[in-house]
Amino acid sequence: MSRAGDQIRINGIVAPEVLPGLLLRHPSCSLFVRSQALSEEYREWTFEPMSDARTIPRLGDQVVLVRALHLGNRSARAYYMDLSLPERINDYTYILDGEELQQIPTYRIEPEGAVIPALACEVFGEYTLYYSRPDPAVGIGVLRQGLTHATYKTTIAEDLGYICRDEGLVHDAIEAFSIAIEEGPSTYFTLLERAALRAQVGDAIGAAADRTAADLLAHR
């Protein structure tokens, strides 16, 4: 067996990388795409690192592992979350503590929103994935950073808009929804959300225009 760069070679053939060794050998990588899953045992899954990823891009039908932020634990442990794309569904959080890897259902981690992905996602899904309720500024920061790198900004901007709306950051929410609308909203509801926010700040003309545009989009 020999090493060539970051890959292990056995008799000249590149061996697939499995957990947790993969994570230990790529500590600075924030995104991994699953290449093979021959069993339900997650330690036997193989992944390919996406070392240059600054967002979770549109990858089609894939399972990815993304670096995560745990707002309630500042230890040296590394956290990861799985995401099933394109639905953007998360089931488990993975905790790398030294050389030990633990898999736990994310819903068991309290409080809700204590663990969020460290990369924004360009694929549509529930915005609550990034709603870091113990400290909403953390999720907002992840999404703002994602907007600076994203190829497709709509979904990230909508996630940001909804969180800002829920946090009462009306002007920030309008700005975020405007980014999504300019690129092309995922649904007419985005226009209705901005209409409601514009009405809150006294922009009756803008709100009416958004409601009209939403109606046209809904019946297209």
The pLDDT tens digits for 195-212 are 999 999 999 999 999 999
Give bridge partners of residue 89 from the DSSP assignment: 84
Domain map (residue ranges) of the chain: 2-186
Q: Which pLDDT tens digits describe the chain residue by residue (220 residues)? A: 333 334 433 333 344 567 888 899 999 999 999 988 877 888 788 899 999 999 999 999 999 999 999 998 766 689 999 999 999 999 999 999 888 889 999 999 988 889 999 999 999 999 999 999 999 999 999 999 999 999 999 999 999 999 999 999 999 999 999 999 999 999 999 999 999 999 999 999 999 999 999 999 999 8
The size of the chain, in residues, is 220
User: Which residue is associated with the tokens 């899954």?
Assistant: 45
CA distance 7 to 9: 6
CA distance 121 to 157: 10
pLDDT at 37: 81
Distances (CA, A) of 64 to 33, 58, 158, 200: 4, 11, 22, 39
Closest CA to 69 of 161, 24, 134: 134
CA distance 154 to 135: 24
Closest CA to 24 of 47, 56, 41, 57: 47
Task: Give 164-184 pLDDT, tens digit per residue.
Answer: 999 999 999 999 999 999 999
CA distance 50 to 175: 31
Residue 88 tokens, joined: 């953007």
CA distance 93 to 108: 10
pTM of this structure: 0.89
Q: Which residues contact 3 (CB under 8 A, 6 or more apart)?
A: 9
pLDDT at 12: 36
Q: Which residues contact 75 (CB under 8 A, 6 or more apart)?
A: none
Angle (CA) 2 47 39, round 5°: 105
DSSP-assigned letters across all residues of 65-127? EEEEEETT--SS-EEEEEEEETTTB--EEEEEETTEEEEEEGGGSSSTTSEEESS-BSS---G
